[in-house]
Amino acid sequence: MVMQVTAIYPGSFDPVTNGHLDIVNRSRDKFDRVIVAVLVNLEKTPLFTTEERVAMLGEVTGQWNNVEVDTFEGLLVKYAKANQAKVILRAIRAVTDYEYEFQMALMNRRMEPDIETVFMVPAVEYSYLSSRLVKEISLLGGSVSGLVPPIVEDSLKKKTGSEG
Ligand code: PNS
């Protein structure tokens, strides 16, 4: 029997950056199926709506046939189980990410011992990149060229009214 491994790559993706895309690109030949899952978080006020985030992700991952984009609400492990995923994929950029990621990984394991969290490290040029900083720079009129895909750059310019 050949085991098919599905990995869930969850996050806010507000918006998707080149760092996220680097992780998806690295993961797609490690797993049979990768689901990029956008958290629908009713408490946070994102810059982009869930639909906008999903549309941008769909466009920039569309060339990869084992990569899907979806949304989820509630507990990540429940969503992973419902999709027969054995792996939760998370990126670690710097040591500062580690504490939060470590807590989440162990808490998720406590709830679903069969699901493993796998950490991947992005290309070094994206190790300081975050959606939060991209939004802040764009809102303040700075350039995010090279940090996000061109369609995201255009959407950011429209959203923030910046010329960046
Ligand atoms: O991109 P982010 O915002 O760092 O992603 C965080 C995310 C979506 C992975 C995390 O908030 C999450 O899994 N939320 C779903 C709710 C849940 O399962 N919480 C318990 C985590 S131990």
CATH number at residue 17: 3.40.50.620
Asked, for residue 138, whether it belongs to a domain, the answer is no
The letter for the amino acid at 131 is S
Asked, for residue 48, whether it belongs to a domain, the answer is yes
> Can you tell me the distance from the alpha carbon of 56 to that of 48, in angstroms, rounded to the nearest whole number?
10
Domains: count for the chain: 1
Asked, for residue 151, whether it belongs to a domain, the answer is no
Give residue 95's pLDDT: 87
Peptide bond into 122 cis (omega under 30): no
**Which domain covers residue 80, as residue numbers?**
6-127
Give residue 96's pLDDT: 87
Q: Name the 3-class secondary structure at 23.
A: helix
Query: pLDDT of 85-127, one tens digit each?
Result: 999 999 999 888 999 999 999 999 999 999 999 999 999 999 9
Catalytic residue at 110? no
Pair of tokens at residue 157: 């310019």
- Report, as an integer, the average pLDDT of 15-29: 98
Asked, for residue 35, whether it belongs to a domain, the answer is yes
* C-alpha dihedral, 143 to 157 to 39 to 84, nearest 10°: -80
Catalytic residue at 131? yes
For the CA of 10, the closest atom of ligand 1 is 9
Sheet arrangement for strand 6-11? 67-72, 33-39, 6-11, 87-91, 116-120
For the CA of 100, the closest atom of ligand 1 is 4
Asked, for residue 17, whether it belongs to a domain, the answer is yes
160: pLDDT strictly greater than 90 = no
Q: Name the residue of 75, 78, 87, 101 whose CB sits within 8 Å of the most ligand 1 atoms, as the mutation to test its pocket.
A: 75
Asked, for residue 132, whether it belongs to a domain, the answer is no
Give residue 161's pLDDT: 84
Contact between 56 and 16 (Cβ < 8 Å): yes
Contact between 146 and 43 (Cβ < 8 Å): no
Asked, for residue 140, whether it belongs to a domain, the answer is no
Count Cα atoms within 13 angstroms, Cβ side, for 51: 0
Rounded to two decimals, the pTM is 0.96
Give residue 163's pLDDT: 66
Q: Name the 3-class secondary structure at 130.
A: coil
Asked, for residue 143, whether it belongs to a domain, the answer is no
Catalytic residue among 131, 135, 138, 155: 131
The letter for the amino acid at 72 is F
48: pLDDT strictly greater than 90 = yes
164: pLDDT strictly greater than 80 = no
52 - beta bridge partners?
none
Catalytic residue among 28, 93, 157, 159: 93
